[in-house]
């Protein structure tokens, strides 16, 4: 990354940092923020306070700690700049589809393993990062993936009920008084609303994607009311009306004849094309905004591996094909790539802050660095093409 900056990307980074400068109250504070972001993008082995301070030429990390703590600057305004910057660079490298702006929005969460009980929102809870219950914080994120690449554009720290009801812990972690308990789907809808209603013109994603946590009734109806197509994973126990009875989607899949399934690749994987067998059917009545509701089912090529099936409830614009739904479902992996890149390259999980504002400030600056990295790659790399079905598609 540093080598790329030496060869001309440093000027691009200066432009981005200047763009967000108005959201910092003083020149010295802007300088600390610039140094912090450059450290996140640099070859620092551990992106903690001391090493980032040394990279920026500071004798101690005190200035950077103030940046993440009591200093006056608007992290939410910087987050909004990240969203606009990402849209400008990641949606500008390819054709736009009739259904939206050529990109997809993806909701997911990631865990931040922690020791002790002081970090805001920490408790023993399930962490997808660890694959088990751990002492951790959980952040819910929104990613934008477009023809030019992908990055994180919004974030919310999940605050468990136990934290919301503990006045002393809230005060010690500087949780704002107005912050009440919100479920993860509620946090997701909050971020989606911000993206769709952003001042100056919100995003118009072709699809909104998410896993089972974010496929609740309220989220689906919210997206339908906004005319936004979605492909949201559901559990095998999800029920739909079939005739005059409700059936689990797993039973519906069990009863499908083999000629109802078709093969389709959702892109290149580490071992070649990711080819699955798919089945799709419309159900119910169209939404008030004219979209069709679909059930989409995915299984391995070997029918006997029924335990590996995946199920999706979808809403799609007229003219969308089952293959379009399958291709959209295959794009959800992009947010996992964002988490991996942000943790490996822009220090997303290497913070040393415990407060509400500290978490949001560090994570926002890490997202800014990730968006810059995505923009650099979008300009430096040609479109990534791979075979999907019988046609050649581009990223």
The yes-or-no verdict on residue 346 having pLDDT over 60 is: yes
Determine the pLDDT at residue 62: 82
Determine the pLDDT at residue 387: 38
Determine the pLDDT at residue 381: 67
Q: What is the mean pLDDT of residues 297-324?
A: 90
State the angle between helix axes of 10-20 and 75-90 in degrees (0 to 180), rounded to the nearest 10.
140
Mean pLDDT taken over the chain: 88
pTM of the predicted model as reported, rounded to 2 decimal places: 0.91
Lowest-confidence pick of 68-72, 309-313, 327-331 = 68-72
Determine the pLDDT at residue 210: 98
Residues 110, 126: Cα–Cα separation, whole Å = 10
Question: Are the C-beta atoms of 286 and 320 separated by less than 8 Å?
Answer: no
Which helix (H) or strand (E) segment holds residue 222: the answer is: helix 217-225
Residue 393's pLDDT band (cuts 50, 70, 90): very low
pLDDT in tens, 236-264: 999 999 888 999 999 999 999 999 999 99
Which helix (H) or strand (E) segment holds residue 186: the answer is: helix 184-196
Buried b / exposed e along 95-124 (16+ C-beta atoms within 10 A) = eeeebbbbbbbbbbbbbbebeeeebbbbbe
CB atoms within 10 A of CB 60: 11
Determine the pLDDT at residue 93: 54
Most confident range (mean pLDDT) of 29-38, 304-313, 317-326, 376-385 is 317-326
| R_g of the chain, CA atoms, integer Å | 22
The yes-or-no verdict on residue 1 having pLDDT over 80 is: no
The residue that leads in pLDDT, 244 or 211, is 211
Question: Are the C-beta atoms of 28 and 53 separated by less than 8 Å?
Answer: no
pLDDT in tens, 71-118: 999 999 999 999 999 999 999 754 444 444 569 999 999 999 999 999
Determine the pLDDT at residue 86: 95
The yes-or-no verdict on residue 234 having pLDDT over 90 is: yes
The yes-or-no verdict on residue 229 having pLDDT over 90 is: yes
The yes-or-no verdict on residue 390 having pLDDT over 50 is: no
pLDDT in tens, 320-341: 999 999 999 999 999 999 999 9
Determine the pLDDT at residue 366: 97
Q: What is the mean pLDDT of residues 216-220?
A: 97
Residue 3's pLDDT band (cuts 50, 70, 90): very low
Q: What is the mean pLDDT of residues 151-156?
A: 98
Own/partner pairs, 9-14, CB within 8 angstroms, 24+ separation: 9/376, 12/372, 12/375, 12/376, 13/37, 13/38, 13/41, 13/372
Residues 139, 349: Cα–Cα separation, whole Å = 11
């Amino acid at each position: 990354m540093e080598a790329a900056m030496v060869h001309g990307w440093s000027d691009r980074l200066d432009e981005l940092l200047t763009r967000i400068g108005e959201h910092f109250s003083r020149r010295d504070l802007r300088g600390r923020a610039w140094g912090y972001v450059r450290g996140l993008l640099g070859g620092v082995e551990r992106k903690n306070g001391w090493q980032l301070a040394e990279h920026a030429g500071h004798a101690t990390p005190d200035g950077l700690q103030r940046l993440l703590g009591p200093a006056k600057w608007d992290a939410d305004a910087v987050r909004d700049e990240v969203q606009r910057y990402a849209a400008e660079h990641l949606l500008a490298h390819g054709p736009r589809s009739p259904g939206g702006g050529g990109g997809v929005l993806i909701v997911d969460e990631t865990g931040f393993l922690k020791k002790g009980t002081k970090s805001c929102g920490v408790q023993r809870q399930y962490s997808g990062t660890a694959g088990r219950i751990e002492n951790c914080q959980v952040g819910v994120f929104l990613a934008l993936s477009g023809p030019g690449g992908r990055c994180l554009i919004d974030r919310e720290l999940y605050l468990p009920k136990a934290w919301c009801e503990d006045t002393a812990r809230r005060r010690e972690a500087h949780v704002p008084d107005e912050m009440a308990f919100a479920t993860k789907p509620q946090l997701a809808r909050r971020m989606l609303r911000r993206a769709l209603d952003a001042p100056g013109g919100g995003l118009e994603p072709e699809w909104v994607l998410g896993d089972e946590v974010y496929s609740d009734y309220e989220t689906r109806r919210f997206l339908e009311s906004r005319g936004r197509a979605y492909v949201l994973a559901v559990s095998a126990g999800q029920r739909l009306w079939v005739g005059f009875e409700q059936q689990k989607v797993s039973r519906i899949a069990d009863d499908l004849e083999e000629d109802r399934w078709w093969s389709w690749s959702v892109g290149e994987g580490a071992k070649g094309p990711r080819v699955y067998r798919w089945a799709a059917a419309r159900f119910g009545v169209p939404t008030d905004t004219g979209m069709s509701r679909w059930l989409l089912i995915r299984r391995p090529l070997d029918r006997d591996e029924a335990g590996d099936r995946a199920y999706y409830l979808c809403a799609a614009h007229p003219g969308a094909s089952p293959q379009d739904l399958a291709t959209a479902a295959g794009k959800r992996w992009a947010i996992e790539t964002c988490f991996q890149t942000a943790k490996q390259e822009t220090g997303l999980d290497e913070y040393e802050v415990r407060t509400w504002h500290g978490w949001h400030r560090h994570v926002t600056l890490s997202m800014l660095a990730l968006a810059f990295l995505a923009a650099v790659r979008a300009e430096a790399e040609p479109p990534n093409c791979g075979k999907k079905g019988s046609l050649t598609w581009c990223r």
